[in-house]
Amino acid sequence: MKSVHRANTFALWIMIIFILGSFALSFILSLLPFSIDSTLVSLLRYILLFGVPILFYFQYTKQPVRHTLRLHPIRCRQILLIIAFSLLIQPFLMFLSYLSSLAFHNFLDDSLSTTLQTPYLILLLTMAVFPALFEEITCRGIFLSGYRGVNLYTAALLNGLYFGMLHMNMQQFVYAFVFGFLCSLLVIGADSIWASVLAHFIINGVQVTLAYFTAHLQSSLSVSVSTSQNSASVLSSVFLTVITLPLALACLRGIFSLNGRLGLLHGKREDNIPAFRKDPLSPSPVEAPPISALRGSMKPYYFAVVIFIVMCILTEFSK
């Protein structure tokens, strides 16, 4: 399948550019006789490592931007369901993050104390707005578009795996994989990339907000979090997950239902495009091809997996 191979090749190049570009950018910045604002550095990183390859992709492949990125509007009822889903899925993602931190080093925590000294609005911009735009266009836009004719769950699974791998460490991989899988379902169900952009912003924004104000409250009160308090927090996440996860999945199903796309959950591909967003480029409602049909197109993806494993080994042993 040509579209799958094209998407996988793009994904591989993004990973290579991300790794080499991060090292190169850090090296160049270290040579400067002056310091650059962290917000500007973050924006520069996203523009150079994601924005430029995205522009090059469309220039080189001549793929239609609107169709590829699913730049379709989302209705008010969908927006409400997406907001509800994003809030309800938080305890589950937080619990997964905690579990993965038990087995792997948490690199995010290493830089968190310094990062949280940044003014709140700037922190929100760099950790919620930029990722929601650039990462979603890359993963749920271009990459997911290549799997448009593939079974829903196969496409979402491979997308989630790739999104997890982009984080380049095992601790973040676990919850990023689940998050990427769910965001893929959101985009396919809503037939709009704005669904995952909104969800990504809310989820990152809520976590940044909680971390920021918790840290500042502890600092102002001169208190620290004890082991027993951490245990209580984990137990509350488990309890909330039992309640909120089924509700979040119900919201997700509701998004599919609102767009007449429940057939996708049963193995169809891109069926029943609603009249308000008919797209002549959308495929006809036929059965999705089996996963065996993808084998010849998966080599770039396998290379990306190898790179991820090597990077994980290097980062875990370098801590």
Q: Taking a C-beta distance cutoff of 8 angstroms, is the pair 150, 301 a contact?
A: no
Q: Which residues pair with 268 in a beta bridge?
A: 287
Q: Is the pTM of this model over 0.85?
A: yes
Q: What is the pLDDT along the chain (319 residues), one digit of tens a residue?
A: 789 999 999 999 999 999 999 999 999 999 998 888 878 888 999 999 999 999 999 999 999 999 999 999 999 999 999 999 999 999 999 999 889 988 888 877 766 666 777 888 999 999 999 999 999 999 999 999 999 988 899 999 999 999 999 999 998 999 999 999 999 999 999 999 999 999 999 999 999 998 888 876 766 665 554 454 556 667 777 889 999 999 999 999 999 999 989 888 887 766 444 443 444 444 444 455 555 667 789 999 999 999 999 999 988 777 6
Tokens of 157: 């699974």
- Look up the domain containing 145 and give its range: 2-318
Phi and psi of 315, rounded to 5°?
Answer: -70, -40
The number of folded domains in the chain is: 1
Which secondary-structure segment (H or E) carries 242?
helix 227-258
d(CA 192, CA 277): 10
Q: Map residue 287 onto helix, strand or coil.
A: strand
Would you tell me how many other CB atoms lie within 10 Å of the CB of residue 248?
A: 20
Tokens of 151: 């079974």
